[in-house]
Structure 1
Amino acid sequence: MARRLARTTVLSLIGLVVVGSATGALMSTDPPPAAPAVGPVVDTVARAERRVAEVPGDWRTLADLGLAYVERARSTGDPGYYPRAQSALERSTAVHPADNAPAELGFAALAAARHDFATALAHADRALTVDAYLAPGYGARADALIELGRYDEGFASVQRMVDLHPDASSFARASYTWELRGDTGRARAALERALAAAPDAASTTFALYQLGELAFGAGDVDGAGKRFDEGRARAPQDVTLRIGRARVLTARGQVDRALAEYKGVVTRLPNPGYLAEYGDLLAANGDPAAARAQYGLVRAGQRLLAAQGVNTDLELALFDADHDAPAAALESARAAYAARPTVFAADALAWALHVNGRSAEALPYAREAQRLGTRSALLAYHLGVIEAATGDRDGARTHLESALKLNPHFSVVHAPRARQVLATLGGAR
């Protein structure tokens, strides 16, 4: 889940930087770059700050500064930059209130980073009102629509972006649409095109990371490791690639090395999703006290995000459901599903209902989470466990087998439980 939301946020940012032939067929029925490392981001911020100090009325640079603050928040894990972004963007619109597409795109990125996708959509639409051929505007619009569960509209916006500007950013978004629909072949092909079109090292690193994640999600540990290593050769300290490597090391049984990698990452970037993974690996390997310490940091991080206007309902729902807070999980899951009824919100609500002993109510939501055909071991596992709890032994065996076949290493917590539940049903067929 953390990976998916991080990807959406990054795509919201990279689509605002415009990087053969028309590629409308890419998303037909026929067979994204990462944000820069901290140093370049600081340089971007510093340059923009100097410029607006010298020319306070430079509304375009103010808009650029707002976006740079959003990216700096992402790259440093410090949401305290969001208010600065808000201020810079508001100053830009105060100077130039009409037809300020750069500021509207900046506001869209800020809203997406805070997981306020309805607001992100409104700002993207305003930018497109100024310029109906603004490819990054369609990217921002697509991100918001997809996160609101309006998939057909979101996919169409990605297609429009690809048609207008077939670059690394649009290909990365196209990849995600295919991934959501369970077509990992087309998702991989689109990411390869993003990689080929990457205009800089950061874009290349992002594409390699996502290719590694696609491979890992399909159970191809060696393929994932190869992609992560390719990226690390270019950017050794990139935290996403280090997390990818930690997952590969875990899958290979190299637990001590995986723990060291996780520790190095969360020391540098205490992302709640990474902290939760680290804690789960500690718990699975006999160190519950250290795991609890990481879980405490997860909750502290979520509170910090919430204080800066970031909606964390969806992330909290799954975390609480898996870490002994079922009532809180259900409250968060209901709020998340009401705000954006995506397949992932449906899955979170299903799982929260299940851990509260309401599996019969959970089942329709777990099935709803399958509506796009997304190939996710976790979604299949949740459905299988819920089916087992409601007495559907055949359905449970089918979906638990599917989860473990798709990726036997999908979770250090849930993969072993999937095998345990499957064993009670008579084992794999």
Structure 2
Amino acid sequence: MWKPLPLLAALLAVAACAPPQAATPAATQTSSLQRNAEALQAKLRRTPQDAAAWAQLGATHVELARVTFDPQHHPRAEKALTESLRLKPEGNGEAFVGRGALANARHEFAAARDWGQRAVAVLPDSAAAQGVLVDALTQLGDDAGASVALQRMLDLRPGVASFTRAAYHFELHGRLDEARGAMERALESATTPDQAEFCRLHLDELAGRDRPPETYRELVSKAPSPEHLVKYGKALDKAGRSVEARAQYDLALQQLRALGGDDLTAALIAADHGDPAEALRFAEKEWAKRQSVFTADALAWALHVNKRSAEALPYSDRAVALGWRDPEVLRHREAILGSLR
């Protein structure tokens, strides 16, 4: 049985003794990753048979895609990781981790789980390998497996990556006080301004505090991901700026249609701001890939907006089965229940 509270309390005491690290601006982080990629490319021109360097280059491109929201880094990552595995197909833990991280970024969660399991078999003491598993298993709806991997990750490396995952895990189980505690610990562990801002943003969301649209406009200017565009749109809606909000939703949906992969977000946007039939197509496609609380909520809502609330209710039940009480999920559920009264 996973017992995170004693562990988190112990980690707080231990990590409080660690010396603080200097913060690094986001632009500096991107430049550092780019320099690392260039250095690895130069090294590989001299030693093209270096499987480890290819794996490191692939992982760097995965991270560059994350911090810049530039999907062009994904095929570069795949090319480098494929070459690493060609040179060293067995026991190549770094490449397994990189392929798992890439698969998670592309929302290919079953593949990410498989790569994560291969990585853990080779690198049982790698927090990064456990992180790949946590992300994949959470999205696939394997709560027990995600709990085990998360506990192992916390054991191995208590830091921003593990504490933010712990906060998410607690939130999905309706344990908001513990989610806030884990996110506060993540904030204390943050080493860059972007990490700190991410933690503060989610602490506000956990506390139910609304941020002004300008906060999200700045976030979108740094990383115009569909997720951030949707948050910006919601903040604009709450501020009564519905025309501007609709522009953000439309842009997010355009990105999702172009990039593919994230049918979950596309389903939710289309259900609220687009075509109900398209929303249901997106939701059913995502449900075929993974049966998590997230996809259960999206499918329930898509069915509801298509006037199929009786079919939606079992999926809504599944969405809250772990204890998840996200305001949007509760709004969806109340509407579904209300239509059946």
TM-score when normalising by structure 2: 0.85
1:91-135 CA-to-partner distances (Å, cap 9, x unmatched) read 111222221000000000000000001000111111122133333
Structure 1 pair 388–320 and aligned structure 2 pair: CA distance change class (3 A): same
Which of 223, 227, 252 is the matching residue for 1:269?
A: 223
2:192 to 178, 185, 201: 201
8 Å contact from structure 1 (residues 79, 304) kept in 2: no
Query: For residue 83 of structure 2, what is the aligned residue in structure 1?
Result: 91
- The 1:277/1:177 distance shift into structure 2, 3 A limit, reads closer
Q: Does 1:213 align with 2:207?
A: no
Distance (whole Å) between structure 2 residues aligned to residue 292 and residue 270 of structure 1: 15
Question: Contact between 2:180 and 2:203, CA under 8 Å: does it hold in 1?
Answer: yes
- Residue type of the partner of 1:62? W
Q: State the Cα distance separating 1:177 from its structure 2 match.
A: 1.4
8 Å contact 1:89–1:107 — kept in the other structure?
yes
Would you say 1:335 and 2:298 are equivalent positions? no
Confirm or deny: 8 A CA contact 2:253 2:270 kept in the other structure: no
Q: 1:65 aligns with which of 50, 57, 76?
A: 57
Aligned 1:23-38 pairs, distance under 5 A? 25-26=3-4, 37-38=29-30
1:259-338 equivalence runs, <5 A: 261-279=215-233, 285=240, 288=243, 290-306=244-260, 311-338=261-288
Structure 2 regions of 5+ residues with no counterpart? 10-22
Distance apart, 1:35 and its partner CA: 11
**How many residues are treated as equivalent by the alignment?**
324
CA deviations on 1:342-376 (whole Å, 9 max, x unpaired) are 11111111110110011111112112111111231
Q: Which amino acid letter does the alignment assign opposite residue 26 of structure 1?
A: P
Q: Report the RMSD for the aligned CA atoms in angstroms.
A: 2.7
TM-score by length of 1: 0.69
- For 2:223 and 2:73, locate their aligned partners in 1 and report how far apart those are by CA, in whole Å: 15
CA distance in 2, matches of 1:303, 1:88: 27
Distance in 2 between the 1:279 and 1:190 partners?
27
The AA in structure 2 aligned to 1:320 is A
Deviation at 1:71?
A: 1.4
What residue number does 2:94 align with? 102
Counterpart of 1:157 in 2: which secondary structure?
helix
User: Which amino acid in the other structure matches residue 57 of structure 1?
Assistant: Q
Alpha-carbon distance between aligned partners in 1 of 2:181 and 2:129, rounded to the nearest angstrom? 24
Q: Matched residues in 2 for 1:89 and 1:152: separation?
A: 30
In structure 2, what is the Cα distance between the partners aligned to 1:264 and 1:211?
Answer: 14
The structure 2 residue matched to 1:77, chosen from 69, 83, 90, is 69
> By how many angstroms is 1:174 displaced?
2.0
Q: Secondary structure at the match of 1:341?
A: coil
User: Which amino acid letter does the alignment assign opposite residue 217 of structure 1?
Assistant: L
2:192 maps to a residue whose letter is: A
Q: Indicate yes or no: 2:165 matched with 1:192.
A: no
Task: Go from structure 1 to structure 2 and tell me whether the alpha carbon gap of 1:179 and 1:84 turns closer, same or farther (over 3 Å shift).
Answer: same
Q: Distance in 2 between matches of 1:293 and 1:315?
A: 16
- Deviation at residue 268 of structure 1 after TM alignment: 4.6
CA displacement, residues 204-245 of structure 1 (integer Å, 9 cap, x when unaligned): x425523431333332x3xxxxxxxxxxxxxxxxxxxxxxxx
Q: How does 1:31-180 map to 2 (within 5 A)?
A: 37-180=29-172
Q: Which residue of 2 aligns with 1:249?
A: 212
**Contact 2:168–2:179 (Cα < 8 Å) also in 1:** yes
Q: C-alpha distance in 2, partners of 1:29/1:326?
A: 45
